């Protein structure tokens, strides 16, 4: 069996599962946020049960519009808070401010071998630690909160093998953008994307979180990495309960295997209005920008913040550009403060926000007007995603976003010295 099949088989009480099989799966963690939890709570009430199946296995993180941007967002957060108190949920507002997909791994709540579901499409992020994690609708989440079970079809697995050594400034974001550019936004539709190869073994945990996060942008059901020494070194000091790491069998059957030699790969940029519309930095041309956003559940971790700071050190943000830095959690923010990175950003003329999803979904902290262009480390650049339907979003790594903020146009870090 593949890695995904091994985990699913263990969670449905079967020795073996095959793609296309319908199974009932026990979940280890159920997640919802301030956009999706209010709907899930309403549906949970309709089911008629009084208590969630296990208050230790349900996490609610208000992050999309928090700190509350208006009355409606305040009401949604209040509804979550009241439900959490009523149900005795011990994981609510984890870390007291942060983006769900950054703080759950950081707090050791998602572990190798887990099945994790969340009412957010980027729940697939947790595949970086060797978990099977996937996004579902709020009604499915309500049922899972009541029963601890989900009903699903076993996905086929596509194996992606990355060979070679990455060049300087080439990151996990560039690997996944290149992959999505190659296979398209439906290239892995309802498939588990299993990542392997020497470039993956060399990739940091933060880089792996970025790649797993964007599996959904290729249509994937899950993005998953085998748990290796790096994974276990990350997980062991954080884990609050037992876990079991699984490995794919050597004779596992894959729907297909896709191989890349990434030794000559350049930093990638996804043009509007699809994550698959990618070009290497050398082919981008002169595209002026109005805003740069560095953060989100894709690239708001410490490595990302450090990379942006290394580019901005001793430089100034272009006078026609707004550069917005958003650490993914309070812990990331604190480390950035300790290392002097926040001072670097402010000296460069950037602004630093408290952790929030904010501009990624056109929420706040960086909404675009008609005709404006933004280079962003977020995960989607659909029409109107970050504000006006007449604005444009270009997706890139923190290094490219920071360099672009200095240049006033989309640029690689080597161009700004």
For the stretch 50-60, pLDDT in tens is 999 999 999 99
Confidence band (pLDDT; 50, 70, 90) for 286?
very high
Tokens of 112: 């190798």
Its CATH class, for the domain covering 268-416, is alpha beta
Count of residues in the chain: 417
- Contact at 8 Å (CB) between 218 and 184? yes
Per-residue pLDDT tens digits for 303-352: 999 999 999 999 999 999 999 999 999 999 999 999 999 999 999 999 99
Asked if 11 and 246 touch (Cβ cutoff 8 Å), the reply is no
Which pLDDT does position 92 carry in this prediction? 75
Instruction: Give me 6's structure tokens.
Output: 């091994």
Return the domain boundaries, the chain. 3-260, 268-416
The CATH homologous superfamily for domain 3-260 is Aconitase, domain 3 (3.30.499.10)
- For the record, the structure tokens of 45 come out as 């009430």
For residue range 129-182, what is the model confidence (pLDDT) as tens digits?
999 999 999 999 999 999 999 999 999 999 999 999 999 999 999 999 999 999
pLDDT digits (tens, 9 = 90+) for 359-406: 999 999 999 999 999 999 999 999 999 999 999 999 999 999 999 999
Cα separation of 283 and 241, whole Å?
48
Query: Mean pLDDT across the stretch 74-83?
Result: 93
pLDDT at position 183 is: 97
pLDDT at 91: 81
Average pLDDT for 213-222? 97
Return the percentage of the chain with pLDDT > 70, whole number.
100
Residue 79: its H or E element? helix 71-87
Torsions phi, psi for 379 (to 5 deg): -115, -10
Phi and psi torsions of 409, nearest 5°: -150, 165
pLDDT at 320: 97
- The model's confidence at residue 295, banded by pLDDT at 50, 70 and 90, is very high
pLDDT digits (tens, 9 = 90+) for 222-246: 999 999 999 999 999 999 899 999 9
Q: Please check whether residue 356 is in contact with residue 95, taking contact to mean a CB–CB distance below 8 angstroms.
A: no
Using DSSP, state whether 318 is helix, strand or coil. coil
Burial class (CB in 10 A: 0-12, 13-18, 19+), 116: buried
- Whether 118 shows a pLDDT value over 80: the answer reads yes
Distance separating the N- and C-terminal Cα atoms of the chain: 48
Q: How far is it, in rounded angstroms, from Cα 30 to Cα 27? A: 7
Q: What is the pLDDT of residue 93?
A: 74
SS3 of residue 261 by DSSP: strand
Are 32 and 60 in contact by the 8 Å Cβ rule? The answer is yes
Do the first three CATH levels of 3-260 and 268-416 match, i.e. the same topology?
yes
What's the mean pLDDT when you consider all of the chain? Answer: 96
Average confidence (pLDDT) over 203-208: 97
Report pLDDT for 94: 61
pLDDT value of residue 95: 61
pLDDT of residue 47: 93
Q: Which of 208, 65, 221, 95 is nearest to 156 (CA)?
A: 221
> Collapsing DSSP states into helix, strand and coil, what is residue 295?
strand
Q: Token pair 């990434």 is at which residue?
A: 262
**Nearest partner of 209 among 332, 86, 320, 330, judged by Cα:** 332
């Amino acid at each position: 069996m593949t890695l995904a099949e091994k985990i699913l088989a263990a969670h449905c009480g079967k020795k073996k599962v095959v793609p296309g099989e319908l199974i009932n799966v026990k979940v280890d963690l159920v997640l919802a946020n301030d956009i999706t939890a209010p709907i899930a709570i309403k549906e949970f009430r309709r089911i008629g049960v009084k208590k969630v199946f296990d208050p230790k296995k349900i996490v609610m993180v208000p992050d999309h519009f928090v700190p509350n941007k208006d009355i409606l967002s305040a009401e949604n957060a209040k509804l979550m808070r009241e439900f959490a108190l009523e149900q005795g949920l011990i994981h609510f507002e984890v870390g007291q401010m942060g983006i769900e997909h950054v703080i759950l791994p950081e707090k050791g709540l998602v572990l190798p071998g887990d099945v994790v579901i969340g009412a957010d499409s980027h729940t697939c992020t947790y595949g970086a630690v060797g978990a099977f994690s996937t996004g579902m609708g709020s009604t499915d989440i309500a049922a899972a909160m009541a029963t601890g079970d989900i009903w699903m079809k076993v996905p086929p697995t596509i194996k992606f093998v990355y060979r070679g050594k990455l060049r300087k400034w080439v990151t996990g974001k560039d690997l996944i953008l290149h992959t999505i550019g190659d296979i398209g936004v439906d290239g892995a539709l309802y498939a588990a994307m299993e990542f392997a190869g020497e470039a993956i073994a060399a990739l940091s945990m933060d880089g792996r979180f970025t790649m797993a996060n964007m599996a959904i942008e290729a249509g994937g059901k899950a993005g998953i990495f085998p748990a290796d020494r790096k994974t276990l070194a990350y997980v062991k000091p954080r884990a609050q309960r037992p876990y079991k790491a699984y490995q794919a069998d050597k004779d596992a059957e894959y729907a297909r295997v896709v191989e890349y030699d990434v030794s000559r790969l350049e930093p990638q940029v996804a043009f509007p209005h699809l994550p698959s519309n990618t070009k290497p930095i050398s082919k981008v041309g002169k595209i002026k920008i109005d805003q740069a956003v560095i953060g989100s559940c894709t690239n708001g971790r410490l490595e990302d913040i450090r990379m942006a700071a290394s580019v901005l050190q001793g430089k100034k943000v272009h006078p026609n550009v707004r550069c917005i830095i958003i650490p993914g959690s309070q812990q990331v923010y604190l480390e950035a403060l300790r290392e002097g990175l926040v001072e670097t950003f402010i000296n460069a003329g950037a602004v630093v926000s408290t952790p929030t999803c904010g501009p990624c979904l056109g929420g706040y902290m960086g909404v675009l007007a008609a005709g404006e262009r933004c280079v962003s480390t977020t995960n989607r650049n659909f029409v109107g995603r970050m504000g006006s339907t007449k604005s444009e979003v270009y997706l890139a790594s923190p290094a490219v976003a920071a360099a672009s903020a200095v240049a006033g146009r989309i640029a690689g870090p080597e161009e700004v010295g």
